[in-house]
Structure 1
Amino acid sequence: MARHAPPRSACLRCAADLPALAEPAAPVAICGACRVRPGPLDACLAAVDYAWPWVDCIAQFKYRSQPGMAATLAGLMRAVPGVAGALRQADRVVPMPLAPQRLRERGFNQSHELARRLGAGPCDPLLLLRVRETPPQAGLNRAQRLVNVRGAFALEPEQAGSVRGQRLVLVDDVMTTGATLHAAADELRQAGASHITAVVFARAPAPDTVP
């Protein structure tokens, strides 16, 4: 597996690819969709586009019981400009949770494996809970995905009060339209998180949706 990924020209807030005509030297590159309707994330940083060969790598990692691949994938994530700074400033690194049934089936949470190998701490896999199993997101547009994940996340009740004023890094393996990450980030915002950066391994192109 390659240990270096080509640099991406991407929106700071949603990690969507920016058009080639975007100003590469601009200090802050924000896509049109995020300018019109900012989401709950202050920043989103992705290592690679969700395309070959990375699609195969992710499938092998998640579905063929190879959690050891997380070390290499996390290394690519750490190399993304801005990730090291976000990790240094974070009060907590929060992996996206799996529903209990899916966790039992897979045997591990791929987001937690990535988060704990990013080399930052404290990594808190118990803060954010998946409280509702949702149908697969594949084949749904953004609006449908938002409805699908509504109410799917909650904070661990005894920790909810500790989030206020904290800077958080939210970790996931793949971001498609952003609906799932945004649903999780909304819960953290409501609990008072002051700044949320999402760090994902792969960002799927979504030209016909708002990220």
Structure 2
Amino acid sequence: MEADATPARSIPAPLRAAWSAGGRVLWRAARLALDIALPTLCVSCREPVDGEGVCASCWARLSFIERPFCPRLGIPFVYYPGPDMLSMEAIASPPAYQRARAAVRYDDVARTLVHALKYQDRTDLAPAMGRWMARAGGELLAGADMLVPVPLHWRRAWRRRYNQSGALARIIERQSGIRVRGDVLRRVRATEQQIGLSRAQRATNVQGAFQVSAERQAEIQGRRIVLIDDVLTSGATLDACARALLRAKAAQVDVLVFARVVEVR
């Protein structure tokens, strides 16, 4: 390492700056050439798009969650039921986490975005999705001490090469200034995919699957934590994560996701 570093220090600062600027110019030129040769397509409808992967038409079809919604779970209400009125889900089965917020409903366009980020290496979608999440979770982020992405088991992380929750958390970190801590929570047991499982099966599947690293427990105590994930379906995974953090003496755990399933009544 020292042998590599010495020549770099001997290069005059003006030359290093020129080299750095030249590298940026070359990178931008290569990016422009690639964009011309391979124009970006909307991830949903596959039409050419000038932006971050979603055309104006598909963006308009995203169902952003706005008030009124349940102050506990963030489930949108059809009408305003009055201040502090909880949803039936929050009353009947309150989760371990305190509050949950989502940017959009999990509809067709949102599902396409999530699957592209998660399974198709479309990490270019994370900036827009993360900004929408930061906007939706403003009240959770105010006063939060850290962001904790829902972890993957090491075998799944090795196959996928990145954690989509971590990618979203890093964008929210830039927006909010709240530090991401991806090393405090571990998935200690490989679990089945939650897709296709009932609510009860989902809860059983992730029971005991998460654990706070022993060397990080002191950093959790008394902290307000915002868990970050891509989708909230039954909430079983996020509830299991919250319970692990609360056992480590976290003061409060909230949840911020890109999309949540909203049952139609």
Change (3 A) 1:179 1:136: same
Q: Would you say the 8 A contact 2:63–2:107 is kept in 1?
A: no
1:140 pairs, out of 197, 204, 216, with 197
Gaps of at least 5 residues in structure 2 are 1-53
Q: Could you report, residue by residue, the CA deviation over 1:125-158 in whole angstroms, capped at 9, with x for unpaired residues?
A: 0011011110111111111111000111001110
Q: Would you say the 8 A contact 2:64–2:105 is kept in 1?
A: no
Change (3 A) 1:87 1:144: same
Per the alignment, residue 162 of structure 1 pairs with 219
Per the alignment, residue 209 of structure 2 pairs with 152
Mean alpha-carbon deviation: is it higher for 35-44 or for 173-182? 35-44
Per the alignment, residue 142 of structure 2 pairs with 88
Gaps of at least 5 residues in structure 1 are none
Within 5 A, what are the aligned runs for 1:8-157?
Answer: 8=66, 9-18=68-77, 20-23=78-81, 26-80=82-136, 83-118=137-172, 119=175, 120-157=177-214
TM-score normalised per structure 2:
0.72
TM-score normalised per structure 1:
0.89
Q: Larger RCO: Structure 1 or Structure 2 (Cα < 8 Å, ≥ 6 residues apart)?
A: 1
Q: State the 4+ residue runs in structure 1 displaced beyond 2 angstroms.
A: 2-18, 26-29, 205-208
Change (3 A) 1:184 1:41: same
Instruction: Name the one with the larger helix percent.
Output: 2
Letter matched to residue 52 of structure 1: D
Question: SS at 1:196's partner residue?
Answer: strand
Letter matched to residue 58 of structure 1: V
Aligned length: 203
Change (3 A) 1:155 1:168: same
Shift, 1:207, TM fit: 6.2
Per the alignment, residue 176 of structure 1 pairs with 233
Residues in 2 aligned to 1:59 and 1:102: alpha-carbon distance in whole angstroms:
15
Shift, 1:106, TM fit: 1.1
Question: SS at 2:108's partner residue?
Answer: coil
